[in-house]
Copies of this chain bind each other. A is one copy, B any other.
Amino acid sequence: VSDGLSERVHRAATNLGYRANVSARGLRLSRTMTMGVVFERMDAPVYLDILTGLTAAADEIGYSILVANADADPDRQRHFVRQMYERRVDALLLSGLRGTVRGELEPFSRAGIPTLGLFGRDRDARDIPVAISPQEKQLTTILARLKELGHRKVMYLGGVGALATRWKILQNAAADVGGLALEQCLMPFETPLPELRDRYAQVFESHRDATALFVHSWNIAAMNAALRVRGETIPDDWSVVTFTDSRYTAALNDPPLSALWIDSVEFGRQTLAIIEDWLAGTPPPSVNLLDLAVWHETESIGSARPR
């Protein structure tokens, strides 16, 4: 066909408002140009960051994203994984895989559809390849730095439940460094601020040999409140480090807190790059370490106060 004719036809099609039907094409080609994302839960800003990275990278290669939230319910997780198969997604991303969906994954593996687990730091599941952001290396660096500043006892203020793995990683890093005692104070995430504040104030009183704090971002407000009650300040009385995996919980403290930071948007992007290679014929290894943790030191840490 001549260029001129081709152009005229295209123009006419556009004017008439013709738009190709992607599902019909998908049926014919058995490629839907759609990927499914099933989040085990969606109740923290980090999931929005991951989704932002995933959707941006997917769009770059012409894919759309179907999103589902299992809301911490294994039955719903199974339901959505099955739904993604019924919609014949070309790839499936699963966060927080707990082994509950194994049966529903079978059609995917039989059909050779790429299926990748997204884990911030867990590394137990082995049914399908997983993408993980390791933090051990940076934690070792941080603990060594605290030791250098004279700290000998570090306390972790965290939440019970899903994030307990962080405590394990912290222990491993402390063992690597040596000569550092570690203590934890885990409280349910639902604890009201006044109660959390009073609990922390008690803990600070009864652990006067501790001089440094690791604090989960959800607990920063309560920590600040407890310090205010006790008239203690950062970094004179306590050196403080926080974990953060989201843009929204970072750097809003006074003074800004030293942080072990993971760029979850980038995590989403790199995860999708793994899928892209897989679709192109290169399956990933069973564990994909995305080295995204960054140590950001601020004036919130300093020399250990004398005890």
Selected contact of A225 from candidates B27, B222, B254, CB within 8 Å: B254
Q: Is the CB of B64 within 8 A of A83?
A: yes
Q: Which one of A14-22, A117-125, A204-212 is at the interface?
A: A14-22
Distance in angstroms from A64 CB to nearest chain B CB is 5
Which A33-91 residues have C-beta < 8 A from chain B? Answer: 34, 42-45, 47-48, 51-52, 55-56, 59, 64-69, 71, 80, 82-83, 85-88
Q: Is the CB of A19 within 8 A of B82?
A: yes
Selected contact of A88 from candidates B21, B68, B253, CB within 8 Å: B21
Number of identical protomers: 2
Give the distance in Å from the alpha carbon of A42 to the alpha carbon of B252 in the complex. 20
Q: Please, how many residues of chain A have a CB less than 8 angstroms from a CB on the other chain? A: 56
Give the distance in Å from the alpha carbon of A107 to the alpha carbon of B13 in the complex. 13
Chain B neighbourhood of A171, CB < 8 A: none
| Any B CB within 8 A of the CB of A239 | no
- At the interface, is chain A mostly helix, strand, loop or mixed? helix
| Any B CB within 8 A of the CB of A110 | yes
Q: Is the CB of A23 within 8 A of B32?
A: yes
Selected contact of A71 from candidates B20, B43, B56, B221, CB within 8 Å: B56
Chain A residues in the interface with B (C-beta under 8 A): 17, 19-24, 26-27, 32, 34, 42-45, 47-48, 51-52, 55-56, 59, 64-69, 71, 80, 82-83, 85-88, 106-107, 110, 193-194, 197, 220-222, 224-225, 228, 247-249, 251-254, 256
